[in-house]
Amino acid sequence: MIELLTVDTPNGKKISIMLEKIKFKYKITKININKDEQFNPEFKKLSPFSKIPVIIDHDANINIFESGAILIYLGEKSEKFYNKDQRMIINQWLMGQMAYVGPMLGQHHQFHHYNPGKSEFGENRYFKISERIYKELDERLSVSKFLAGNDYTIADIATFPWIARHEWHDIGLKNYVNLKRWYKKISSRQAVKKGYDLLQKGEEIPKV
Ligand SMILES: N[C@@H](CCC(=O)N[C@@H](CS)C(=O)NCC(=O)O)C(=O)O
């Protein structure tokens, strides 16, 4: 049994989507970051940076923080979506998501979606960077079916929930034909739909 300590954000959804895809039994423990529950000493023992998501694998008696590390762990354990022969290319796209795509789109959410009008500089900077990310992902997907090649991998699983916030981005996903094709394909999968609706509130994946 895997326990997923999380909140309903793109970083949290990465893990619920993975758990649905690999069909592992799991339960969700909600950490309310709006009420600062991430700073509770018990949670901090599991997550030194006080961030979700975290998993506890109760069978293996191990806990893991950082969504990329969690995806690698689950990919290795299930032997799915993290093919041994393709790990170097998968790692590159996964690290790119962790270090660039997620953090930059996250800043775009802060300036453009949550706090518009507070900083023109911040809004412009992260709008442009986000546009660039759409273009770069689109270029990659013009020559590759999925991010790391022909197979759907943990790199796609990590990136998808961020692009699923496209309505907040106001960049126009429909104009990026390759990224749109990738997004629609992944969106149509039953396990992805279920994992996306992390809190089981009937949340649907935004359409293009
Ligand atoms: N690099 C981390 C980022 C996780 C992250 O930013 N989590 C946010 C929610 S999406 C969080 O827990 N924020 C609470 C805080 O920073 O206090 C990962 O991918 O796991």
38 lines ligand 1 (CB under 6 A): yes
| Distance (Å) of CA 126 to CA 107, 108, 123, 133, 163 | 6, 5, 6, 10, 15
pLDDT in tens, the chain (208 residues): 999 999 999 999 999 999 999 999 999 999 999 999 999 999 999 999 999 999 999 999 999 999 999 999 999 999 999 999 999 999 999 999 999 999 999 999 999 999 999 999 999 999 999 999 999 999 999 999 999 999 999 999 999 999 999 999 999 999 999 999 999 999 999 999 999 999 999 999 999 9
- Please indicate, yes or no, whether the overall pTM of this predicted structure exceeds 0.95: yes
Please state the atom number of ligand 1 nearest to the C-alpha of residue 66: 20
Please state the atom number of ligand 1 nearest to the C-alpha of residue 36: 17
Please state the atom number of ligand 1 nearest to the C-alpha of residue 49: 16
Helices (H), the chain: 10-22, 41-46, 67-78, 87-96, 102-108, 120-143, 154-163, 166-169, 177-187, 190-196
52 lines ligand 1 (CB under 6 A): yes
Please state the atom number of ligand 1 nearest to the C-alpha of residue 102: 19
SS3 state of residue 158: helix
In the numeric block, the tokens 């020559």 are attached to: 143
8 lines ligand 1 (CB under 6 A): no
Q: Are 112 and 127 in contact (CB under 8 A)?
A: yes
Which residue is closest in CA terms to ligand 1's atom 2? 66
72 lines ligand 1 (CB under 6 A): no
Which distant-in-sequence residues (6+ apart) come within 8 Å of 137 by Cβ? 101, 147, 159, 163, 176, 179, 182
SS3 state of residue 52: coil
Q: Which of 66, 121, 122 is nearest to 98 (CA)?
A: 66
Tell how far the Cα of 102 is from the centroid of ligand 1, in angstroms: 10
